């Protein structure tokens, strides 16, 4: 179904969305690129001219850079590991026949709908507070000394909070994937005498590999730019400054726009590397 | 009125030419069937007439007016789709009324026409149901109802019966034929089923790879197929095609003889062979004769009473007056 | 997968699943419970679960002190406004891509997806600057625009996958029946796609409601939605657990309810059709 008339109508109707997104992508991108090559300090003299690759070099060579990369990798890696592993287990569990499946599903999914600032604050204060938090009560009950989570175990705390938020996402997608598995395949394997573990390893896991890849890629993109969870808990202190938080601080807190923009360009490149892999998978699915 | 002329119409998708230059005239009131194997371009041709696809070149005229660049909504044609394409969110009444609503007819007129169409098609009791609650045959009727209320210049049918089961198909075939007799409106009907073509058409257009192989009435096509393709396509079971010395005896490259034009007997006839599979239909029996030395098998239609068995040796007598002779180029010889 | 299992096995599954489900849900449950306690009961050791003096006082205090309704209203306008504008822009685009596909359709879809992956922090300053220039800083209109743009790729994608399931023949039938393009989209496509459009709307309201980068960085007092309202509790008010809980409950309750309705569509919307 395509006539010249409908094709030109289609182009016309696609135009608003395409033009808006093109502007949304290009204008800030070009501005960021522009700033990244300039010495730009809005509160201390404003735009002080070209500096070549100075900002790029300074951003990488600053003492905060490598720790922030390390922090980013630990948080992203930790959250991915927890959400994918527990996600698979939970999905397997939820796929089993049980009473009240619908309600359990809702309970498990709920954290995804909690806004990041709320979950960060609730965890920080009501659970991880060293004197009044629930964890502190629990530790005291067992005779242990409560720890000050946000300062002594800041990274694990943030990983825990973020994992709690993203576990429902991983579970839901993996559950959808498991449910699309042809049960005859499993029955055939059962007939062939494959024990439960072997069935999981050789049939379920390979079937899930695609969904797992998608979960990993999408979460990576979102996790690389987590912000609110750090903003309202530690504010970047206690070794929780991720790459994007570092850029945020450079731009808004220390008002060094040139330096921050150079960092932004690094972040964009990093995100695009992940994005390319995700788009390959999505693109392949489009053809099918 | 609905006289449709195609003048050197072509259609290409990218570099692939699916319809080479094609001329065709469909007279007003005629029931024309486009028939051919799948992929022959018959549906594309219908969609070109409908305006759902652009012609690459050439002209389409409807009642003498050039409609080549007229959008489908303005051509005054109605179409019945293979999947019925009913609007699932509208009741039967609203489905049938939709084209009238689009034409901005007054509500009273719409109601009148919908009621009339519904009574013609036995849909009056179902007017307030949704298409999802109807059977396949009823959906088909709704689709037809939606087409007839507009009083179009011509109806286009795109394989409308292929989603129905065999029994319903025969019934709907008759209903559509009756509808045509009553309305006397031009109808163009696309099918791959040559039985539908033979039983319904005033005029059959046999298509292959976008080419028109032959245009004619069902009997013309049956009696005088212009080439081997039409000979093989029209008629069921297929015409027997014999090559080699036997064909040369009759002065042709390929000799065609329909199964119903061969007599089978136990002891006399110029050809002989062994009975392979036989299909008993009750009224008729089809024997597939092997080892004749003429072709791999020769199909013969005999009376239902004739009782040869697998492995019997039989003799065949072709009726020479209805033989078809084809030259090396595949064309019918005079 | 319908498999027959013994009642014992089913009982074990049920117990295990409920235990895990309640554990995961516990922080939310605890927050809701705490919101009805007094501040003293909220930090009591040992913690009190149900047998406390239920009170609505915290809700009253939160509303009175911080004018909760204004933040709520901002959240509603920003989430609903950005979604509706997004839908209006996306429906024609998705129609084009689903029903008049060209060789470039796939590239355009993937490119739209790629704009979603631009790290926000990388373009924070330019947007900040543009907002100052255009007078959009701390305005609801500005946030509606930004959230509409960041969610537009998801909206287009979701609608596209829904539209793809509608047989093109039905739209062709409408065209043959004399419908113009506008009538075809309005009377035939849109009513048929209502379930898909509804889920798209739902999911995008949720995403916009919870968005916490742009809403925190581009607002101050006027346009601040609930994300910013809660962030203001980070200290020292956050130590008033009962009030923090009441504020949190009010911030998440509307969206929890919406979310439960849209759980099925979540997968589709967030994986861009890569998992079905």
Q: Three-state SS for A248?
A: helix
Interval A39-62 mean pLDDT = 79
pLDDT tens digit sequence for B221-266: 999 999 999 998 998 889 999 988 888 888 899 999 999 999 988 8
Same domain assignment for residues C14 and C96: no
Mean pLDDT of C80-88: 94
Q: How far apart are CA B238 and CA A95, in angstroms?
A: 55
Provide the pairing of β-strand B77-80 with B154-158. parallel
Domain boundary among B211, B232, B253: B232
- Residue C270 pLDDT: 66
Kindly state the average pLDDT of the residues A267-286: 79
**CA-wise closest residue to C252 among A103, A121, A163, A229:** A121
SS3 assignment, position B91: coil
B331 lies in a domain?
A: no
A107-129 confidence digits (pLDDT tens) = 888 898 888 888 888 888 888 88
Write the pLDDT tens digit of every residue in A21-41: 999 889 988 998 888 888 877
Domain contains B258: yes
pLDDT of residue B33: 94
CA-wise closest residue to C243 among C80, C68, C115, C84? C68
pLDDT (average), residues A183-191: 77
In a domain, A227, yes or no: yes
| Mean pLDDT value across chain B | 90
Report yes or no: C169 at the B interface, CB cutoff 8 Å: yes
Taking the C-alpha atoms of residue A70 and residue A63, their distance in angstroms, rounded to an integer, is: 12
pTM of the predicted structure, to 2 decimals: 0.83
Minimal CA separation from C194 to chain B, in Å: 10
Q: Say yes or no to pLDDT of A250 above 90.
A: no
Contact between C178 and B103 using a beta-carbon 8 Å cutoff: yes
For residues B54-66, give the mean pLDDT: 89
Q: What is the pLDDT of residue C204?
A: 86
C175 part of contact set with chain B, CB < 8 Å:
yes
What pLDDT was estimated at residue B13? 84
Residue B332 lies in a domain: no
Q: Which of B88, B102, B131 to mutate to test the interface with C (most CBs of C within 10 A)?
A: B102
Is residue A226 very low, low, confident or very high in pLDDT (cuts 50, 70, 90)? confident
Interface membership of A5 toward B (CB under 8 Å): yes
> Do C53 and C73 fall into the same domain?
no
What span, in angstroms and rounded, lies between the C-alpha atoms of B89 and B130?
A: 7
Local structure of residue C53 (DSSP, 8 states): -
CB-CB contact of C191 with B89 (8 Å): yes
Judge whether B250 lies within some domain. Answer: yes
Q: What are phi and psi of C46, to 5 degrees?
A: -70, 155
Closest CA to A116 of C248, B198, B229: C248
% of chain C exceeding 70 in pLDDT = 91
* Residue B249, domain member (yes or no): yes
Task: Count residue pairs from A and C with Cβ separation < 8 A.
Answer: 327
At A178, list the tokens. 């498991």
Q: Which of B232, B252, B280 is the last residue of a domain?
A: B232
pLDDT band of residue C1 (cuts 50, 70, 90) is: very low
d(CA A52, CA A36): 9
Does the pLDDT value for residue B120 go beyond 70?
yes
Q: Is residue C276 part of a domain?
A: no
Given a cut of 80, whether residue C108 has pLDDT beyond it is yes
The nearest CA of chain B is from the CA of C94 a distance in Å of 20
Number of Cβ atoms within 10 Å of the Cβ of A251: 27
pLDDT for C90: 94
How far is the C-alpha of B258 from the C-alpha of C114, rounded, in Å?
Answer: 64
Contacting residues of C for B97, CB less than 8 Å apart: none
- Better-scored residue on pLDDT, A207 or C155: C155
Please give the Cα distance from C264 to C199 (Å, whole number).
9
Longest dimension (CA), chain C: 74
Q: Cβ separation of A267 and C210 shorter than 8 Å?
A: no
ipTM of model over 0.85:
no
Tens digits of per-residue pLDDT, A124-145?
888 888 777 788 888 888 877 7
* Residue A120 falls inside a structural domain: yes
- C275: pLDDT confidence band, cut at 50, 70 and 90? low
**Co-location of B52 and B183 in the same domain:** yes
Same domain, C52 and C95: no
B96 domain-assigned:
yes
- pLDDT at site B30: 93
Of B167, B202, B232, the one marking the end of a domain is B232
Structural domain boundaries, residue C43: 7-59
Inter-chain touch C231–A25, beta carbons under 8 Å: no
Residue A15 clears pLDDT 60, i.e. is over it: yes
Mean pLDDT of A76-97: 90
Q: How many domains does chain A have?
A: 1
For B290, B291, B307, the CA distances from B276, given in Å and listed in that order, are 6, 9, 13
User: H helices within chain A, ranges in order?
Assistant: 4-36, 54-61, 65-95, 101-109, 116-121, 134-141, 149-152, 154-179, 183-191, 196-199, 205-224, 228-231, 243-248, 257-287
Measure A135 CA to nearest chain C CA, in Å: 11
Domain count, chain B: 2
- Chain B residues whose beta carbon lies within 8 Å of the beta carbon of residue C192: 87-89
- Chain B residues lying within 8 Å of A1, measured CB to CB: 52-53
> Between B319 and A141, where is the model more confident?
B319
Q: Does position C2 have pLDDT exceeding 50, yes or no?
A: no
Is the pLDDT reported for residue B34 higher than 90?
yes
Range of the domain at A127: 56-287
> What pLDDT was estimated at residue B111?
93
CATH number of the domain within which C262 lies: 1.10.3720.10
A131–B contact, CB cutoff 8 A: no
Same domain, B228 and B167: yes
Q: Is residue C2 one of the residues assigned to a domain?
A: no
Look up residue B331 and give its DSSP letter: B
Instruction: Please determine, for residue A146, whether its predicted confidence score (pLDDT) is greater than 90.
Output: no
C-beta separation of B4 from B25 below 8 A: yes
The span from the CA of A210 to the CA of A199, in Å, is 18
Cβ of C212 within 8 Å of Cβ of A183? The answer is no
- Distance between CA B222 and CA B226 in Å, rounded? 10
* Residues of the domain holding B318: 242-326
pLDDT at residue A20 above 90?
Answer: yes
Whether C161 and C267 map to the same domain: the answer is yes
Let me know whether C70 and C153 are in one domain: yes
* Within a domain: B198: yes
Cβ(C31)–Cβ(A211) below 8 Å: no
Condensed to tens digits (0 to 9), the pLDDT of residues C160-202 reads 888 888 888 899 999 999 888 889 888 999 898 888 888 888 8
**Residues of chain A found within 8 Å of residue B54, distances taken between Cβ atoms:** 2-4
Domain-embedded: residue A15: no
Statement to judge: residues B290 and B153 lie in one domain? no
- What residues of B are in the A interface, CB distance below 8 Å? 51-54, 71
In a domain? residue A236: yes
pLDDT-derived band at B204, boundaries 50, 70, 90: very high
Return left, alpha or beta for B332; rule: phi > 0 is left, psi -120 to 50 is alpha, else beta.
beta
Question: What is the chain A residue with the closest CA to B71?
Answer: A5
Q: B16 with B49, same domain?
A: yes
Q: Please, which chains are in contact with C (at least 3 CB pairs closer than 8 A)?
A: A, B
Confidence of residue B143 (pLDDT cuts 50, 70, 90): very high
- Domain assignment present for residue B237? The answer is no
Answer yes or no: do A134 and C89 touch at CB < 8 A: no
Average pLDDT over residues A158-177: 89
CATH number of the domain bearing residue A252:
1.10.3720.10
- A4 touching chain B per CB within 8 A: yes
Count the domains in chain C: 2
Contact: A115, C209; criterion CB under 8 Å: yes
- Number of Cβ atoms within 10 Å of the Cβ of A233: 25
Of C16, C230, C266, the CB nearest to A121: C230
Q: Rounded CA gap, B322 and C121, in Å?
A: 85
Contact A248 C14 (CB under 8 A): no
Q: Are residues B175 and B300 in the same domain?
A: no
Contact C21 A251 (CB under 8 A): no
Query: For residue B159, what is the DSSP state?
Result: S
Please give the helix or strand (H or E) that residue B4 lies within, else none. strand B4-13
pLDDT at C276 over 60: no
Taking an 8 Å cut-off on Cβ atoms, the answer to whether A115 and C226 are in contact is: yes
In this predicted structure, what is the pLDDT of residue C54?
82
Pairing mode, strands B57-62 and B284-290: unpaired
CA distance B38 to A55: 65
Interacting residues of C40 by C-beta distance below 8 A, sequence separation 6+: none
Q: Which CATH number belongs to the domain containing residue B127 in this structure? A: 3.40.50.300
**In the Cβ-directed half-sphere of B211, how many Cα atoms lie within 13 Å?**
7
Whether residue B182 is predicted with pLDDT greater than 60 in this model: the reply is yes
Residue B99 tokens read as 């084209």
Is the domain of C40 the same as that of C148? no
Q: What are the CA-CA distances from residue B92 to residues B142, B151, C231 (Å)?
A: 7, 18, 55
Select the residue of A141, A172, A286 nearest C266 (Cβ to Cβ).
A172
Looking at residues B105-134, what average pLDDT do you find? Answer: 91
Which chain B positions have a beta carbon within 8 Å of C179's beta carbon? 73, 98, 102
A98 touches chain B (CB under 8 A): no
- Tell me the nearest-neighbour CA distance from B72 into chain A, angstroms: 10
The reply to whether residue B71 touches residue A1, judged by beta carbons under 8 angstroms, is no
User: Which three-class secondary structure state does DSSP give residue A41?
Assistant: strand
Query: What average pLDDT does range C221-248 have in this prediction?
Result: 79
Give the E-state strand segments of B14-108 in sequence order.
16-26, 31-35, 57-62, 65-66, 77-80
pLDDT at residue A1, as a whole number? 46
The residues pairing with A36 across neighbouring beta strands, listed in sequence order, are none
Report the residue from C169, C183, C191 with minimal CB separation from B85: C169
pLDDT (average), residues C195-220? 84
pLDDT at B60: 92
User: Among all residues of chain A, which has the CA nearest to that of B13?
Assistant: A2
Peptide bond into B237 cis (omega under 30): yes
* Pair (B187, B268) in one structural domain: no
Mean pLDDT of B126-147: 91
Residue A149 — pLDDT band, cuts 50, 70, 90? confident
Residue C236: per-residue pLDDT:
63
B248 CB-contact burial (10 Å; exposed 0-12 / middle 13-18 / buried 19+): exposed
Same-domain check for residues C31 and C88: no
Q: Is residue A20 part of a domain?
A: no
Residue A276: per-residue pLDDT: 84
């Amino acid at each position: 179904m395509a006539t010249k008339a409908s094709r030109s109508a289609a182009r016309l109707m696609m135009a608003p969305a395409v033009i808006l997104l093109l502007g949304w992508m290009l204008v800030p991108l070009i501005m960021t690129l522009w700033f990244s090559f300039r010495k730009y300090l809005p509160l201390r003299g404003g735009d002080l001219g070209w500096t070549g690759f100075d900002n790029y070099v300074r951003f990488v060579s600053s003492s905060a850079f490598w720790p922030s990369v390390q922090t980013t990798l630990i948080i992203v890696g930790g959250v991915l590991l927890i959400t994918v592993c527990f996600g698979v287990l939970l999905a397997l569990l939820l796929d089993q026949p049980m009473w009240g499946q619908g309600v359990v599903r809702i309970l498990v999914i709920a954290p995804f709908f909690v806004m990041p600032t709320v979950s960060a604050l609730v965890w920080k204060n009501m659970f991880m507070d060293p004197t009044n938090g629930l964890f502190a009560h629990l530790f005291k009950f067992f005779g242990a000394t409560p720890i000050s989570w946000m300062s002594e175990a800041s990274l694990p705390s943030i990983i825990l909070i973020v994992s709690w938020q993203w576990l429902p996402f991983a579970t839901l997608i993996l559950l959808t994937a498991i449910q699309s598995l042809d049960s005859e395949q499993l029955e055939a394997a059962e007939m062939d005498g494959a024990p439960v573990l072997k069935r999981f390893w050789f049939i379920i896991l390979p079937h899930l590999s695609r969904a797992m890849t998608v979960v990993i890629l999408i979460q990576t993109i979102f996790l690389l730019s987590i912000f609110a969870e750090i903003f309202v808990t530690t504010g970047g202190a206690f070794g929780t400054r991720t790459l994007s938080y570092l850029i945020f601080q450079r731009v808004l807190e220390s008002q060094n726009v040139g330096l921050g923009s150079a960092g932004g360009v690094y972040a964009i490149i990093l995100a695009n590397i992940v994005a390319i892999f995700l788009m390959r998978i999505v693109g392949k699915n489009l053809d099918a | 009125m609905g006289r449709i002329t195609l003048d050197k119409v072509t259609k290409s998708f990218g570099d692939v030419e699916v319809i080479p230059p094609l001329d065709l005239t469909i007279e007003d009131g005629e029931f024309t069937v486009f028939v051919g194997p799948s992929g022959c371009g018959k549906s594309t041709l219908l969609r070109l007439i409908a305006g759902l696809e652009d012609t690459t070149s050439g002209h389409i005229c409807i009642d003498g007016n050039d409609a080549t660049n007229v959008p489908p909504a303005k051509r005054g044609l109605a179409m019945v789709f293979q999947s019925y394409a009913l609007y699932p969110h509208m009741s039967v009444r609203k489905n049938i009324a939709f084209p009238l609503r689009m034409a901005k007819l007054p509500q009273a007129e719409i109601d009148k026409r919908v009621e009339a169409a519904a009574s013609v098609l036995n849909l009056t009791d179902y007017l307030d149901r949704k298409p999802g609650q109807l059977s396949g045959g009823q959906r088909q009727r709704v689709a037809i109802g939606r087409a007839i209320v507009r009083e179009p210049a011509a109806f286009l049918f795109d394989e409308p019966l292929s989603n129905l089961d065999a029994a319903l198909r025969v019934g709907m075939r008759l209903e559509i034929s009756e509808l045509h007799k009553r309305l006397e409106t031009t109808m163009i009907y696309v099918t791959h089923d040559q039985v539908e073509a033979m039983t319904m058409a005033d005029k059959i257009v046999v298509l292959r790879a976008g080419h028109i192989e032959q245009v004619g009435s069902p009997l013309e096509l049956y009696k005088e197929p212009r080439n081997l393709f039409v000979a093989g396509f029209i008629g069921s079971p297929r015409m027997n095609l014999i090559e080699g010395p036997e064909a040369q005896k009759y002065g042709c490259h390929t000799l065609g003889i329909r199964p119903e034009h061969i007599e089978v007997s136990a002891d006399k006839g110029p050809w002989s062979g062994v009975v392979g599979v036989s299909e008993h239909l009750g009224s008729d029996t089809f024997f597939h004769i092997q080892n004749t030395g003429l072709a791999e098998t020769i199909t013969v239609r005999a009376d239902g009473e004739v009782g040869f068995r697998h492995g019997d040796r039989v003799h065949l007598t072709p009726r020479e007056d209805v033989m078809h002779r084809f030259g090396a180029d595949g064309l019918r010889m005079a | 997968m319908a498999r027959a299992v013994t009642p014992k096995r089913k009982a074990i599954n049920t117990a295990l699943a409920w235990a895990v489900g309640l554990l995961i849900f516990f922080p939310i449950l605890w927050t809701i419970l705490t919101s009805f306690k007094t501040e003293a009961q909220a930090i009591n050791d040992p913690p009190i679960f149900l047998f406390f003096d239920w009170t609505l006082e915290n809700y009253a205090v939160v509303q009175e002190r911080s004018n909760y309704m204004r933040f709520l209203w901002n959240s509603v306008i920003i989430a609903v406004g950005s979604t509706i504008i997004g839908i209006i822009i996306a429906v024609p685009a998705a129609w084009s891509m689903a029903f008049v596909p060209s060789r470039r359709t796939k590239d355009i879809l993937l490119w739209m997806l790629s704009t979603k992956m631009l790290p926000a922090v990388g373009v924070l300053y330019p947007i900040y600057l543009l907002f100052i220039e255009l007078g959009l800083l701390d305005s609801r209109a500005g946030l509606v625009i930004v959230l509409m743009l960041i969610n537009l790729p998801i909206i287009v994608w979701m609608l596209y996958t829904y539209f793809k399931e509608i047989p093109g023949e039905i739209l062709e039938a409408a065209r043959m029946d004399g419908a113009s393009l506008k009538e075809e989209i309005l009377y035939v496509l849109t009513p048929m796609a209502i379930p898909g459009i509804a889920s798209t709307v739902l999911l995008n309201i949720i995403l916009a409601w919870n968005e916490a980068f742009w809403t925190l960085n581009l607002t101050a007092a006027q346009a601040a939605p609930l994300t910013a309202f809660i962030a203001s509790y980070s200290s020292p008010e956050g130590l008033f657990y009962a009030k923090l809980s009441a504020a949190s409950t009010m911030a998440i309750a509307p969206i929890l309810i919406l979310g439960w309705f849209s759980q099925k569509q979540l997968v589709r919307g967030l994986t861009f059709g890569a998992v079905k």
